[in-house]
């Protein structure tokens, strides 16, 4: 079971590491972090660098592909080797998956056309614009395409995938192994539950960052 | 607000990255991954390498210290620079924290003597043996010492810390930003909830691994 997790400049770490922590515990799993070029890749806040073990060329046929989100997704979905590689590996993958705004990259690659999919709650409109049918659920299966909502939702997605691949007992054993018995101090993890002013705070910051993070002209996002 | 997250060979990635994803979003947060030497550090399964940005010597006075767990903890708590540095930085830290078996390292450094603390559910007996008062709760505060249960519990701990440091609204905004509205497919994340055979499976594997992972003689664990 070869699992490829895509890295790119300014990805969000937990999008990738949540599912990695679950999927790497599957029997006979081999996780490789892959990127356009092997070597260091830095996260969205510039405070953490991971090493991509392999280049895309060195990972031609993963069984599971996972694309994390993060502000750098804007650059990835503007075109280039990430989209080319995703289209290629999706032909033979068993599961093609994303977390958070990673689904915008899958959509830009044309892999979510007309499919039910999810993304970070602030990105669902953009997901629709890119041709998917957005669904405000935490994890969405549409055939072999599986998408998770924002950041932490990748953990739930990975446990569901684990149950599909290896059965409920293995999934439960992994859940118990990572002691995933969530007890957040607030019930504010979705826009339907968080206080209205907190939702508005995030919406405003999102608009501000969308303007601030517009990529330079050569990488401008296709409409 | 300087936050130092300790890395060491064979740590568990989610122990570190869960809290990083929350704490890095605190206003004016600066997270640095630190290790005995700066440079690459590989996780417990050998499938992921992170870069430690700083050596311990380059991080003399963090406000928050976080120690992740992982099978490599056995080597760390046998003595050496990690324990020395933890004793040093705890003198001036605002919060000294751990996730999973990271609490065994804090205990070995003498920082949990007589204190209420938690750890991975499979490590609570060892925690007691090292001088702490083990508590089977997900997050335990004892003064400025804060410990979380296994792996994923670091996310809950980081949100609680965030609320203490920056208030409920900031914590809720971060929770909503990472869409932490957990929906695991099973309710098997603690030994009191998982099916008995799953609990037994993990207990047996833990015993097996404890034998397999005994460090070589010069690093043998002090009794």
Secondary structure E strands in chain A: 2-6, 30-35, 39-42, 49-52, 54-55, 64-67, 95-99, 116-117, 133-134, 139-142, 145-148
- Residue A164: C-alpha distances to residues A26, A141, A146, A212, B73 (Å): 11, 11, 12, 41, 33
Separation between Cα atoms, residue A158 and residue A14, nearest integer Å: 13
CA distances to A202, B176, B195 from A196, rounded to whole Å, are 10, 11, 39
pLDDT band with cut points at 50, 70 and 90 for residue B115? very high
Tell me what pLDDT residue B213 has. 57
Q: Which residues of chain A have pLDDT under 70?
A: 210-223
What pLDDT, on a 0 to 100 scale, did the predictor assign at position A212? Answer: 64
User: Above 90 in pLDDT, residue B121?
Assistant: yes
Among A128, A78, A122, A79, residue whose Cα is nearest residue A100: A122
Average pLDDT along chain B? 94
Among A181, A187, A199, A206, pick the best mutation site for testing chain B contact (most B Cβ within 10 A): A181
pLDDT digits (tens, 9 = 90+) for B151-210: 999 999 999 999 999 999 999 999 999 999 999 999 999 999 999 999 999 999 887 776
> What was the pLDDT predicted at A102?
98
**pLDDT at site B222:** 32
Q: How far is B157 from chain A (nearest CA, A)?
A: 8
Q: Do the Cβ atoms of B183 and A45 come within 8 Å?
A: no
May I ask the CATH class of domain A2-184?
Answer: alpha beta
Contacts of B194 in chain A (CB under 8 A): 172, 175-176
Question: Is A53 tagged catalytic?
Answer: no
Residue A129 and residue A108: Cα distance in Å, rounded? 10
Kindly report the CATH number that applies to the domain delimited by B2-182.
3.40.50.880
Residue A209: per-residue pLDDT = 72
Which residues of A fall within a CB distance of 8 Å from B20? 13-14, 47-48
Query: Could you give the ipTM of this predicted complex?
Result: 0.94
pLDDT score of A205: 87
> What's the sign of the alpha-carbon dihedral A34, A48, A220, A109?
positive
Q: What is the pLDDT of residue B217?
A: 39
Of the residues A22, A67, A83, A100, which is catalytic? A100
Domain ranges of chain A: 2-184
Q: pLDDT, tens digit, for every residue of B22-62? A: 999 999 999 999 999 999 999 999 999 999 999 999 999 99
Cβ contact, residue pair A185, B163, below 8 Å: yes
pLDDT at A222: 32
Instruction: State whether residue B57 sits within 8 Å of chain A by CB.
Output: no
pLDDT at A213: 57
pLDDT at residue B212 in the model:
64
pLDDT over threshold 50, residue B16: yes
């Amino acid at each position: 079971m070869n699992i490829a997790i895509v890295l790119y400049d300014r990805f969000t770490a937990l999008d990738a590491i949540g599912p990695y922590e679950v999927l790497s515990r599957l029997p006979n799993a081999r996780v490789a972090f892959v990127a356009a070029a092997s070597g260091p890749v830095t996260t969205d806040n510039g405070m953490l660098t991971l090493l991509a073990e392999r280049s895309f060329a060195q990972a031609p046929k993963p069984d599971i592909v996972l694309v994390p989100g993060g502000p750098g997704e804007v650059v990835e979905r503007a075109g280039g080797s990430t989209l080319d590689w995703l289209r290629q590996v999706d032909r033979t993958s068993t599961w093609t998956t994303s977390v958070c705004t990673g689904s915008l990259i899958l959509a830009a690659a044309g892999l979510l056309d007309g499919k039910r999919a999810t993304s970070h709650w602030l990105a669902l409109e953009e997901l629709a614009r890119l041709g998917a049918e957005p669904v405000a659920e935490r994890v969405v299966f549409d055939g072999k395409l599986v998408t998770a909502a924002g950041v932490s939702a990748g953990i739930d997605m990975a446990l569901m995938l684990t149950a599909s691949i290896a059965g409920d007992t293995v999934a439960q054993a992994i859940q118990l192994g990572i002691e995933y018995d969530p007890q957040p101090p607030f019930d504010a993890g979705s826009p339907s539950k968080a206080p209205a002013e907190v939702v508005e705070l995030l919406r405003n910051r999102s608009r501000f960052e969308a303007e601030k993070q517009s990529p330079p002209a050569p990488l401008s996002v296709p409409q």
